[in-house]
Amino acid sequence: MAFDWFWKAMGTSPHKNQKKSMAVVAQAGADRYREATEEELRKAAAQSVVRQQFEDGSLIREGKVLDESKLLGVVREVARRTLGLSPFDVQMQGTLRLLAGDVVEMGTGEGKTLAGAMAAVGYALQGKRVHVITVNSYLATRDDEWMGPMFDFFGISHGAISEELTSDERRDIYSRDVIFGAINELGFDVLRDQLITKRADQVRSEADVAVIDEADSVMVDEALVPLVLAGSEPGNAPLGHITELVKSMVEQQHFLISEDQRNVFLTDAGAAFAERKLGIESLYGTADEGRSGSAAEQSRSEKKDDAGESEVASEKEDTETEEDQAGSGDLLVQINVALHAEHLLQRDVHYIVRDGKVLLIDGSRGRVADLQRWPDGLQSAVEAKEGLQVTDGGRILDQLTIQALIGMYPEVCGMTGTAMAAGDQLRQFYDLKVSVIQPNVPVQRFDEQDAVFASIEDRNEAVVKHIVEIQKTGQPQLVGTQDVAESEYIARELKKVGVECAVLNAKNHEAEAGVISEAGRPRRVTVSTQMAGRGTDIKLGGTEEDERDAVVEAGGLHVVGVGRFRSQRLDNQLRGRAGRQGDPGSSVFFVSIEDDVVAVGGAGEELQAQPDDEGRLTQKKVLNFVDHCQRVTEGQMLDIHATTWKYNKLIKDQRDIINGRRDDLLDTSTAWDDLSYHNVDKANELKAAGIPEETLEQAAREIMLFHLDYEWSEHLAYLDDIRESIHLRAIARESPIDEFHRMSIAAFGDLADRAVRKARETFDDARITADGVDLGELGLHKPSATWTYMVNDNPLNSGGGSAMGSIAQLFR
Ligand code: ADP
């Protein structure tokens, strides 16, 4: 094969794997178990695997598949009997590669749900607990119900995690064999479990395997999105007068916006202007000292501690600045946040306003992300910009990136329509290989060459004309745009020329599933932002396929891409909606050289080409240029991912250390041992008062854990500060990420000691009774409410994905 070197470089050879798995599947035979009794099927299933075994908590026998073709043959027959679906050979191949721990590429409509569920059966039979990870809870519940009968047959317990469940219900479901859940829900439970003070309160049970649906969206596009657990506390939002100040600033003179529209910088003149308006001496003064070393860290952690008997002078000073509401360091952050909100975030592109609230648009799915907020200051700044009631901020208690969450599973596999193009990232960040599974029926889609235009206006005009023309043929059309504003624009323009269309976007997601399932009817036009994770396929002629013949006759579903996405993989996700299971279909992309991908990817490069009367550029070199720009953008994203990964890795390593400490405190009497040794008199008094040992141990545990958790959340806030300060100083440094490492390691160094020291002080002061300890009495309040959200920290990248990208870019 001409591309063998390529596959080798990717760490995989699809041809080799394919041949092998085809042989196994052939052996599994469609009829091999057709006559078998239920008893025989269960017995054969048990014989085909080795169950993993533990003794005293340590693994003494590993689970594995002994006889692949036997296992597959049984599962195929059981799927047929219980689900009424006879798995295709290609689905069986998919299952096999999933059991080998690969990410499999299977097209839209090839039946990935069934292939994944069969793999879950294979893993569960080995005695492993499996999480089948979906992109949203709706799909988790749907798939659990749909695939349930197959699990029931084998006596494999299963269930789905969704938002509305109580902790007790969740705990029960987590203890089962196969658990379906949305990635963010699973992550939030990890975060909440990291706050428990009694082992019995833990909700999750450890899982052995993750089977990830839409693996590239989850593991690549959303890998760096942090899931956040926050507790209520007034935020550090820009005050009203800061918003006013920023509104009066002038671009170029007071601030600059970077070419890629990701960053905004205050100029010297801007800083002077702000200082004058606010009547302060310097925006930078204390910020520099306050943020550059462990002194700041100290003051941060001491500032809420009013016990402070022997604070040194500098710490006192800091506390005072804090009190007069706006330390200058904070002002600088607030101004930057307000500038960011004012100039880089656009209504209807990055967020919408509904019911007096700012709702984020999840860039990669083009719909409202209910659980997402920007980091507190930014969210409030946007609220202020829109003249809305500014909500209270919160205190970040803990956070976890999706990448780190995936890293917690000993075994990972997954499926997606577009894995190959994510091969680099999957290998580099997860050490996963990709297996390409051929389609069940060869793809018949016709992909037209891109139509490239000189300007966005010309492009849009051509898109509308094109849709009108195609509609005459009777083909249904799916129009994919880059963002919600663009969807609405296209819809308006279509309406003007008499074309009705359904718009799938953040504003009407309730109706979405229904709209999609009917999008394949003749002449239908459906406009949508990216389709990844929408999770329903478009059947020709409607859900019941009653108008199928007419649509097939017309040429099947036609996909129109408005602008190329920032990676070819995303383009293909959209294209892949047409031509499922060998259906006829076609696709074309309309591009302009003013599009983001071209502008960012081709920055600084001159393109000499003459447009025709309709603004179209037909030269071959133009097409090449667009491809080139997209490859540059892909490269940039990979770099950002790699750099941000380094940054997150450090936090993860530190978190692991804290978790180890937490486990020790939860499961042993370490806390009581330490505190009673520290204050022997008090310990004896308490014992003499007849308080049961158990109560004392639990009180000590709660004291220790309170301070450990508090210090950790302070540490996270400090890390944010360093990131911000490195970011704000426009990066004159050689290697900001090294600097970040140095500072964060230094600050982490004495975290545990400080937590213990404070716990001892608390123990000295605390009133402990037979009811335990009331930390609230001492002003040590646990957050009154906690909530979870996903941070879309890189809102400037309308393609979604890489959170913290804007910061990471500066790290490069
Ligand atoms: P994907 O996620 O790969 O796009 P789904 O898992 O949603 O696909 O399945 C798409 C459709 O194909 C579903 O309607 C499902 O019922 C159907 N399907 C899957 N496997 C089979 C099969 N072996 N035989 C018949 N229909 C199948």
- Quote the ligand 1 centre to 114 CA distance (angstroms): 7
Confidence of residue 109 (pLDDT cuts 50, 70, 90): confident
Q: Is 478 helix (H, G, I), strand (E, B) or coil?
A: strand
Residue 560's nearest CA partner among 522, 605, 591 is: 591
**Percentage of the chain lying above the pLDDT 90 cut:** 44
Q: Using CA positions, which residue lies closest to atom 23 of ligand 1?
A: 87
Reported as a single tens digit per residue, the pLDDT across 464-483 is: 999 999 999 999 999 999 88
* DSSP annotation string for 304-351: T-TT-SS--HHHHHHHHHHHTS--HHHHHHHHHHHHIIIII--BTTTE
pLDDT above 60 (res 290): no
Rounded mean pLDDT, 670-677: 96
Least confident span in 527-541, 545-559, 625-639, 779-793: 779-793
Reported as a single tens digit per residue, the pLDDT across 112-125 is: 999 999 999 999 99
The residue to which tokens 């603004």 are assigned: 615
Q: Using CA positions, which residue lies closest to atom 18 of ligand 1?
A: 111
pLDDT above 80 (res 299): no
pLDDT at 321: 32
Rounded-to-integer distance, Cα 645 and Cα 651, Å: 10
Is 302 known to sit in a ligand binding site? no
- Are 78 and 41 in contact by the 8 Å Cβ rule? The answer is yes
Rounded mean pLDDT, 793-797: 32
- Quote the ligand 1 centre to 535 CA distance (angstroms): 11
State both tokens at 396: 């970040």
pLDDT at 382: 81
Strands (E), 729-785: 768-769, 772-773
pLDDT at 677: 96
Q: Using CA positions, which residue lies closest to atom 10 of ligand 1?
A: 109
Confidence of residue 330 (pLDDT cuts 50, 70, 90): low
Is 693 known to sit in a ligand binding site? no
Rounded mean pLDDT, 114-140: 94
Mutual angle of helices 736-749 and 620-667, in 10-degree steps: 10
- Quote the ligand 1 centre to 107 CA distance (angstroms): 11
- Are 522 and 558 in contact by the 8 Å Cβ rule? The answer is no
Is 537 known to sit in a ligand binding site? yes
Residue 361's nearest CA partner among 531, 790, 369 is: 369
Reported as a single tens digit per residue, the pLDDT across 729-773 is: 434 445 677 778 888 888 898 898 999 999 999 999 999 999 999
∠ CA(477), CA(481), CA(483), 5° rounding?
Answer: 145
pLDDT above 70 (res 621): yes
- Are 675 and 684 in contact by the 8 Å Cβ rule? The answer is no
Residue 789's nearest CA partner among 299, 236, 397 is: 397
User: Is the pLDDT higher at 148 or at 532?
Assistant: 148
- Quote the ligand 1 centre to 108 CA distance (angstroms): 9
**Percentage of the chain lying above the pLDDT 70 cut:** 80
Is 112 known to sit in a ligand binding site? yes
Residue 523's nearest CA partner among 476, 557, 559, 555 is: 476
State both tokens at 209: 């395997």
pLDDT at 126: 98
pLDDT above 50 (res 105): yes
Rounded-to-integer distance, Cα 686 and Cα 692, Å: 9
- Quote the ligand 1 centre to 441 CA distance (angstroms): 13
Backbone angles phi, psi at 558, to 5 degrees: -110, 125
State both tokens at 738: 């090294």
Q: Using CA positions, which residue lies closest to atom 19 of ligand 1?
A: 111
Reported as a single tens digit per residue, the pLDDT across 40-93 is: 999 999 999 999 999 988 889 999 999 999 999 999 999 999 999 999 999 999
- Quote the ligand 1 centre to 715 CA distance (angstroms): 47
Work out the burial of residue 529: count CB atoms within 10 Å of its CB; fewer than 13 is exposed, 13-18 middle, 19 or more buried.
buried
- Are 415 and 104 in contact by the 8 Å Cβ rule? The answer is yes
Residue 71's nearest CA partner among 20, 122, 128 is: 122
Backbone angles phi, psi at 134, to 5 degrees: -110, 175
Pocket, ligand 1, Cβ cutoff 6 A: 85-88, 91, 106, 108-114, 537
Least confident span in 51-65, 427-441, 608-622: 608-622
- Quote the ligand 1 centre to 581 CA distance (angstroms): 9
Cα 370 from chain centroid? 13
Rounded-to-integer distance, Cα 186 and Cα 209, Å: 13
Tell me the CA distances in angstroms from 127 to 149, 313, 383, 755, one per residue in order: 19, 60, 50, 40
Least confident span in 252-256, 329-333, 514-518: 329-333
- Quote the ligand 1 centre to 537 CA distance (angstroms): 9
* DSSP annotation string for 173-184: HHTSSEEEEEHH
Q: Is 604 helix (H, G, I), strand (E, B) or coil?
A: coil
Q: Pick the atom of ligand 1 nearest to 417's CA.
A: 3
Q: Using CA positions, which residue lies closest to atom 12 of ligand 1?
A: 111
Instruction: Indicate the top mutation candidate among 537, 557, 573, 581 to test ligand 1's pocket, ranked by most ligand atoms within 8 A of CB.
Output: 537
pLDDT at 279: 82
State both tokens at 423: 């091969």
Q: How many residues does the chain have?
A: 812
Pairing of strands 58-61, 53-55: antiparallel
Q: Pick the atom of ligand 1 nearest to 86's CA.
A: 23
Residue 134's nearest CA partner among 78, 65, 210, 196 is: 210
Taking the CA atoms of 425, 428, 429 and 430 in sequence, report the sign of the dihedral they define.
positive
pLDDT above 80 (res 394): no
Rounded-to-integer distance, Cα 75 and Cα 117, Å: 10
Confidence of residue 496 (pLDDT cuts 50, 70, 90): very high
Is 111 known to sit in a ligand binding site? yes
pLDDT at 366: 56
Confidence of residue 573 (pLDDT cuts 50, 70, 90): confident
- Quote the ligand 1 centre to 199 CA distance (angstroms): 41
Instruction: Indicate the top mutation candidate among 103, 114, 135, 441 to test ligand 1's pocket, ranked by most ligand atoms within 8 A of CB.
Output: 114
Reported as a single tens digit per residue, the pLDDT across 209-252 is: 999 998 988 898 888 777 877 665 544 445 677 888 888 898 88
Confidence of residue 514 (pLDDT cuts 50, 70, 90): confident
Tell me the CA distances in angstroms from 673 to 434, 665, 690, 766, one per residue in order: 51, 10, 18, 17
**Helices (H), ranges, 209-303:** 215-216, 240-247, 268-278, 285-291, 294-302
The residue to which tokens 């999480």 are assigned: 131
pLDDT above 60 (res 303): no
- Quote the ligand 1 centre to 258 CA distance (angstroms): 46
Rounded-to-integer distance, Cα 344 and Cα 347, Å: 10
Residues 6+ positions from 250 with CB-CB distance below 8 Å? none
Please state the three-class secondary structure of 20-79 as a single string: HHHHHHHHHCCCCCCCCCHHHHHHHHHHCEECCEEECCEEEECCEECCHHHHHHHHHHHH
pLDDT above 60 (res 311): no
User: Is the pLDDT higher at 665 or at 724?
Assistant: 665
Mean residue pLDDT of the chain comes to 81
Residue 794's nearest CA partner among 655, 673, 640, 681 is: 640
pLDDT at 365: 53
pLDDT at 393: 54
Please state the three-class secondary structure of 682-703 as a single string: HHHHHHHCCCCHHHHHHHHHHH
Residues 6+ positions from 602 with CB-CB distance below 8 Å? 593, 625, 628, 629, 632
Tell me the CA distances in angstroms from 244 to 270, 278, 342, one per residue in order: 14, 11, 10
pLDDT above 80 (res 198): yes
Instruction: Indicate the top mutation candidate among 77, 78, 113, 216 to test ligand 1's pocket, ranked by most ligand atoms within 8 A of CB.
Output: 113
pLDDT at 800: 30
pLDDT above 60 (res 602): yes
Hey, what amino acid is at 230? A
Query: How many other CB atoms are found less than 10 A from the CB of residue 337?
Result: 27
pLDDT above 70 (res 807): no
State both tokens at 121: 């059966």
Instruction: Indicate the top mutation candidate among 80, 85, 118, 534 to test ligand 1's pocket, ranked by most ligand atoms within 8 A of CB.
Output: 85
Q: Pick the atom of ligand 1 nearest to 108's CA.
A: 4
Is 52 known to sit in a ligand binding site? no
Rounded-to-integer distance, Cα 524 and Cα 517, Å: 11
Max CA separation in the chain (angstroms): 96
- Quote the ligand 1 centre to 158 CA distance (angstroms): 21
Q: Pick the atom of ligand 1 nearest to 113's CA.
A: 6
Q: Using CA positions, which residue lies closest to atom 5 of ligand 1?
A: 111
pLDDT above 50 (res 617): yes
Q: Using CA positions, which residue lies closest to atom 16 of ligand 1?
A: 111
Q: Pick the atom of ligand 1 nearest to 87's CA.
A: 23
Confidence of residue 336 (pLDDT cuts 50, 70, 90): confident
Reported as a single tens digit per residue, the pLDDT across 364-389 is: 555 565 545 665 567 777 887 887 77
Q: Pick the atom of ligand 1 nearest to 110's CA.
A: 3
Reported as a single tens digit per residue, the pLDDT across 411-423 is: 999 999 888 888 8
Q: Using CA positions, which residue lies closest to atom 13 of ligand 1?
A: 111
Residue 727's nearest CA partner among 669, 812, 652, 654 is: 812
- Quote the ligand 1 centre to 88 CA distance (angstroms): 10
Rounded-to-integer distance, Cα 235 and Cα 394, Å: 5
Q: Using CA positions, which residue lies closest to atom 24 of ligand 1?
A: 85
Confidence of residue 495 (pLDDT cuts 50, 70, 90): very high
